[in-house]
Structure 1
Amino acid sequence: MNGLDFRSGFVTTDWLLEHLGRTGLRLVQVGGESHYPRMHLPGAVLVTYPEFTAQRDGLPAMFPEPADLERLFGRLGIGVQTPVVVYDLVGGTDAARFAWTLARAGHAGARAILDGGLPVWYQRQLPLDSAIPRIEAVTFTARPDAACEADREQVLATIASHAEGMLLDSRSRNEYLGLTLRGPRGHLPGAVHLDWIDTLMGRQDPRLQSDEALRALYAAIGIDDPTREVIVYCETAHRAAHTWAVLRHLGWEKVRLYDGSISEWRLYDLPVVAGDTPR
Structure 2
Amino acid sequence: MIQDINLTKVINELGISNETTVIVYGKKIMAATRAAWTFMYAGLEDVRLLNGGIDAWNALGFSTEEHPSKIQQDSKGTFKLLQPKSNYLSTRKDVEKNLQNQDSIVVDVRSWNEYSGKNTGYVYMKEMGRIPNAVWGYAGSDPYHMEDFEKKNGVLKNLEEIGKLWKESEIISEKKIIFYCGTGWRASEAFFIAHLLGWQNISLFDGGWMEWSQLD
Per the shorter chain, which TM-score range? 0.7 to 0.9
TM-score when normalising by structure 1: 0.68
2 CA distance for matches of 1:184 and 1:252?
Answer: 32
1:174 counterpart = 2:124: no
Does structure 2 conserve the Cα–Cα contact (< 8 Å) formed by 1:165 and 1:228? yes
Q: CA RMSD in A?
A: 1.7
Partner residue in 2 for 1:106 = 43
> 1:7-54 deviations in whole A, cap 9, x for unaligned?
xxxxxxxxxxxxxxxxxxxxxxxxxxxxxxxxxxxxxxxxxxxxxxxx
1 CA distance for matches of 2:60 and 2:169?
Answer: 34
Map of 1:32-181 to 2, 5 A cutoff? 62-63=1-2, 65-90=3-28, 92-107=29-44, 109-138=45-74, 139-161=79-101, 163-180=102-119
2 CA distance for matches of 1:157 and 1:72?
Answer: 32
Partner residue in 2 for 1:220 = 168
Does structure 2 conserve the Cα–Cα contact (< 8 Å) formed by 1:96 and 1:113? yes
CA shift, 1:131, in A, is 4.3
2 CA distance for matches of 1:184 and 1:160?
Answer: 23
TM-score when normalising by structure 2: 0.86
CA shift, 1:68, in A, is 1.9
**Tell me, what secondary structure is at the counterpart of 2:151?**
strand
Does structure 2 conserve the Cα–Cα contact (< 8 Å) formed by 1:169 and 1:176? yes
Q: Between the two proteins, what is the percent identity of the paired residues? A: 27
Identify the match of residue 248 of structure 1 among 149, 170, 195.
195
**Tell me, what secondary structure is at the counterpart of 1:100?**
helix
